[in-house]
Structure 1
């Protein structure tokens, strides 16, 4: 009668993992990225209550791609043997700062209405925010427990509140909840904030 149909995968702690499993398309995307970029390195990111095990590839300029893999060992073997790139465990070797810097540059460039340099820290996300963006900002503020941001907040202000909201809502944290985490991530997508 289908009593097991629709059951979600669970972590060792019992949290529900709603992400899909790895696919051939994921492996092809990783293969294409490694083939077309220079200085690629790989990081295995372990399964959490939010995601499956993932393989993160970071190019020399900081551009990155993250895709699901069947297991940590499968990801390690795929990166080392098929892609022939160095592979690290993200619990032991931190993800390089060049990834974060690239993501911030990209987010600032798309959030800024004019072409400004990457050292500008007060570029507004948009001249006027849509009601959807305003709701996203208010969501982040309420989950983070922070004071309201000024109208037309800077990118750095948004990132500060986003990081605090992520920390408060993370499901692996004591008291963290998956639905709050999903709400924070949805709000970040609306505002175009990098992870």
Structure 2
């Protein structure tokens, strides 16, 4: 009959675990990215309670692509042998700051580094939904309230701290806080 065919595997916290494995399309997307960009490096991101093993490629300008791979060993072999690019363990070296800078520039809508504006302010008039999202991030992060109309950098600082406090790996797979933080970030238009 197949009445359970549509059910998804879930973690102890209730999060849906993706059952899709790495595909040929994922590898093709990684290969196309590496061939069309300069200074590409690979970062292997290990499997967590929420995500499968992924391979993150970061170009010299910070543009990136992330796709699933079968295993960490497969990621290392693919990056070294097929793409001929340096590969690192993201747990040991972290994600390069140029990727975060690129994502922030893209989120802010600012041009590449030729112009140097250090901070931009949030819109002058915040909606009640945005104010509630800011209060959510503050409470999860455990920080003092932000000033009225906080800057983008202030919001990002609190958002990063809230993500750290609410991460499912830290809370034994429980995703409730994590989902709340991510919803608040989406409301405020913050990049991940």
Q: TM class by shorter-chain length?
A: 0.7 to 0.9
Please show how residues 2-17 of structure 1 align to structure 2 within 5 Å: 5=5, 6-8=7-9
Partner of 1:40: 40
Give the TM-score normalised by the residue count of structure 2.
0.81
SS in 1 for 2:92: coil
Contact 1:139/1:184, CA 8 A, preserved across alignment: yes
Q: 1:27 to 1:9 in 2, by over 3 A?
A: farther
Offset, 1:156: 1.2
Tell me the number of residue pairs that the alignment of Structure 1 and Structure 2 aligns: 187
Of 119, 136, 141, which residue of structure 1 is paired with 2:138? 141
Contact 1:17/1:51, CA 8 A, preserved across alignment: no
Of 140, 145, 157, which residue of structure 1 is paired with 2:154? 157
Distance 2:125 2:23 in 1: 40
Offset, 1:141: 1.7
Partner of 2:186: 189
SS in 2 for 1:91: helix
Contact 1:108/1:118, CA 8 A, preserved across alignment: no
Q: 1:75 to 1:9 in 2, by over 3 A?
A: farther
Please tell me the root mean square deviation across aligned C-alpha atoms, in Å. Answer: 2.8
Offset, 1:128: 3.0
Give the TM-score normalised by the residue count of structure 1.
0.80
Gaps spanning 5+ residues in structure 1: where?
111-115
Q: 1:117 to 1:176 in 2, by over 3 A?
A: farther
Q: Relative contact order (alpha carbons < 8 A, sep ≥ 6): 1 or 2 greater?
A: 2
Gaps spanning 5+ residues in structure 2: where?
none
Q: 1:153 to 1:86 in 2, by over 3 A?
A: same
Distance 1:127 1:185 in 2: 23
Distance 2:105 2:61 in 1: 11
Q: 1:68 to 1:173 in 2, by over 3 A?
A: same
